[in-house]
Amino acid sequence: MEKFDVIVVGAGLAGLAAAYTLAGEGVEVVVLERGDYPGSKNVSGGRIYVNPVRDLFPGLWDEAPLERAIVREGATLMARNRSFTFHYTGSELRTSPPQSYSVLRSRFDRWFSERVEERGAMLLPKTLVSDVIRENGKIAGVIAAGDELRADVVIACDGALSLIPEKAGLRAPGRPHDNAIGVKELIQLDPNLINERFNVADGEGAAHLFVGDVTKGLFGGGFLYTNRGSVSLGLVVSIEDIAKEEAAGDIPALFEAFKARPEIEPLLRGGKTLEYGAHVIPEGGYRSLCPLVGDGILVAGDSAGFALNLGFTVRGMEYALASGHFAAKAVVQAKAAGRFDAATLSAYQNLLEESFVLHDFKTFQETPRVLSNPHLFGHYPELAGNILRDLYSVPAGPKVPIFTTLRRHLTLSQLWTLLKDAKEVMKI
Ligand SMILES: Cc1cc2nc3c(=O)[nH]c(=O)nc-3n(C[C@H](O)[C@H](O)[C@H](O)COP(=O)(O)OP(=O)(O)OC[C@H]3O[C@@H](n4cnc5c(N)ncnc54)[C@H](O)[C@@H]3O)c2cc1C
C-alpha cells in the first residue's frame, strides 16, 4: 500500500500551487488529476491578477506563459437595442511588472505542472479520485482509480464540483444559489487584427465585461479577453436564475445571441472557434465557503468556494494559487509538529485570515446579495440606453430641454428606487 506525506486531489491552480510549495520544502507529495494532463479539464476566463500572489511564488512569473498584459479595461451596459460602453486606460496599467494578464489555462497549467515536477513532486494524470479513506475518524488517504493511497494529509483541490470535502463529511452538496455556470469560446484571430480592433500594441491586451441583455436580465454577465493570437469570449449566469427562467435557460442560445450583437460581431469577424468549454463557478462568497480544515484534510481553491465576482472583476485564480500555497505551509508546520489533526492543521485558516484571501472574502461578503438585484441586469441597462438614445437624438422639429428628457425617464418613484439600490451598492 502506497503512503505519502501529502496527497493533493486536482492539478488546477490550487493543487499545483500546494504541490509546488510542498515540494519546495522537501515534503513528499503526489498530485492526482483526472484529466489527460493538467489544464485539460480547466475552464477559466481568464484574466489573472498577479500582484496578490507575486511574492508567494518568487521567480515563477518571469518565465510563465502568460498571454497579454491588460492595459485597457472596458465595460458595457447592454440594453436590448442599444448599449453604453466605457473604456479605461491608465499609465499604471503600462508600468512593469503589469498587474494582470490574460491567460490560457491549458497552456499555463501544463507549464506550471512541469515546474512542480522539477521540484520533485509526483504527478499522476488520468487518475480519478472517487472516495476518501477514513480511519479512526481521520482522513487517511483516497481511493484513486480503484487503488488505496494513504497520506498524513489530503488537500482537496478538486474544483467547483468538488467531491472530496463532501465525501469527507465537511460539507453538503453545493446549492444552485451559490453557483454560476460559465461558458467560454476561444476564437483564433490574427495578432495584428487583435492589436487594431482592441487598440493595443504587441504584448498588450484588453479586458471587457458586459452586463444586461447579454444574459437577458439574469444575474451574470459576459466577458472578453484578448490573448496573443485569440480572444476568450464567455458568459457567466447564475444557476438559480437559469432554473427559474425557463425561457432564458438555453445557455447556448444566449451565447450565440451575445456573439451576434453589433458590439461583438465585428470584433470577432474572420475568427475561428478553437475550443468551447463550460464549467461551474462558486460565487456564493464568504457565507458559502466550505469548512477549510478537518482531521487529516484541507480544502483549497474553488473546492473551498474561493471565487469572487465583484461585477467589474471576476477572480478565482489568485485565490486558488494563494489558498493552495497556504495549505502547503500549514502542512509543513504540522509535519514539524508531527500532528495532522484539525487543531494543528487550522494554521491554514490562520494563514488565510492574515492574507488577502479571507480579508477580501470578508470585505465583500455582501456582494453576492447586492449584485443579485435584478434591476442591475435588466432595468438599469435599459434606462441608461433610453436616456442616451433621447439625449443623442435630433428630431425633425424642436428638441426638448435636457432636464425634460431626464425627468421623463427618472420619475420620482424611479429616483426613489435608484436611491434605495445605490444605498445597497454602497455596502460593497
Ligand atoms: C467561464 C469562467 C470564467 C472565469 N474567469 C475567471 C477570470 O477571468 N479570472 C479568475 O481569476 N478566475 C476566473 N474564473 C474562476 C477560476 O477559473 C477558478 O476560480 C480557478 O480555476 C480555480 O482553480 P482550482 O485549482 O481551484 O480549480 P480547477 O482549475 O477547476 O482545478 C480542479 C482540478 O481538479 C481536477 N479534479 C476534479 N475532480 C477530480 C477528481 N475526483 N479526481 C482527480 N482530479 C479531479 C480537475 O480535472 C481539475 O484539473 C472563471 C471560471 C469560469 C468557469
**203 three-state secondary structure:** coil
| Short-list 47, 44, 69, 43, CA closest to 312 | 47
pLDDT attached to residue 162: 87
C-alpha cell at 127: 487518475
Listed in sequence order, the residues at least 6 apart from 346 whose beta carbon sits closer than 8 Å to its beta carbon are 293, 330
Residue 248 has pLDDT above 60, yes or no: no
Please state the length of the chain.
428
Question: Across the strands, what pairs with 131?
Answer: 143
Residues 226 and 186 sit within 8 Å (Cβ to Cβ): no
The pLDDT tens digits for 209-241 are 999 999 988 889 999 999 999 999 999 998 888
Kindly tell me the burial class for residue 97, based on how many C-beta atoms sit within 10 Å of its own C-beta (0-12, 13-18, 19 or more). exposed
Is the peptide bond preceding residue 98 cis, with omega within 30 degrees of 0? no
CB atoms within 10 A of CB 288: 16
| Axis crossing angle, helix 13-24 with helix 317-337, rounded to the nearest 10 | 40
Q: Residue 354, Cα to own-chain centre: how many angstroms?
A: 22
The whole-angstrom separation of Cα 288 and Cα 172 is 11
- Output the CA 382–ligand 1 centroid distance in Å: 33
The pLDDT tens digits for 401-422 are 999 999 999 999 889 999 999 9
Give the mean pLDDT of 339-349: 98
> Is 39's C-beta closer than 6 angstroms to any atom of ligand 1?
no
> Is 159's C-beta closer than 6 angstroms to any atom of ligand 1?
yes
Which single residue is written with the C-alpha cell 429616483? 415
The pLDDT tens digits for 265-287 are 999 999 999 999 999 999 999 99
Question: Given 3-state DSSP classes, what are the helix, strand and coil percentages for the chain, each rounded to the nearest 5?
Answer: 40, 25, 35
| Short-list 44, 51, 98, 90, CA closest to 70 | 98
Where b means 16+ CB within 10 Å and e means fewer, 52-61 reads: bbeebbeebe
Choice from 302, 310, 361 to test ligand 1 binding pocket (greatest atom count within 8 A of CB): 302
CA angle 36, 41, 42 (to 5 degrees): 140
The whole-angstrom separation of Cα 78 and Cα 40 is 33
Widest CA span in the chain = 87
DSSP state of 305: T
The pLDDT tens digits for 364-400 are 999 988 888 989 999 999 999 999 999 999 999 999 9
What is the residue-averaged pLDDT of the chain? 94
> Is 317's C-beta closer than 6 angstroms to any atom of ligand 1?
yes
Does the reported pTM lie above 0.85? yes
> Is 314's C-beta closer than 6 angstroms to any atom of ligand 1?
yes
DSSP state of 285: -
**Start-end of H helices in 372-411:** 379-392, 402-409
Choice from 8, 36, 42 to test ligand 1 binding pocket (greatest atom count within 8 A of CB): 42
Take atom 46 of ligand 1 and give the residue whose Cα is closest.
10
Query: Per-residue confidence at 247, pLDDT binned at 50, 70, 90?
Result: low
C-alpha cell at 188: 483564433
pLDDT attached to residue 246: 64
| Short-list 233, 239, 216, CA closest to 45 | 233
Residue 77 has pLDDT above 60, yes or no: yes
Residue 245 has pLDDT above 70, yes or no: no
Query: Per-residue confidence at 13, pLDDT binned at 50, 70, 90?
Result: very high
Take atom 2 of ligand 1 and give the residue whose Cα is closest.
44
Residues 184 and 42 sit within 8 Å (Cβ to Cβ): no
Take atom 29 of ligand 1 and give the residue whose Cα is closest.
12
- Output the CA 320–ligand 1 centroid distance in Å: 8
In angstroms and rounded to an integer, the radius of gyration of the C-alpha atoms of the chain is: 23
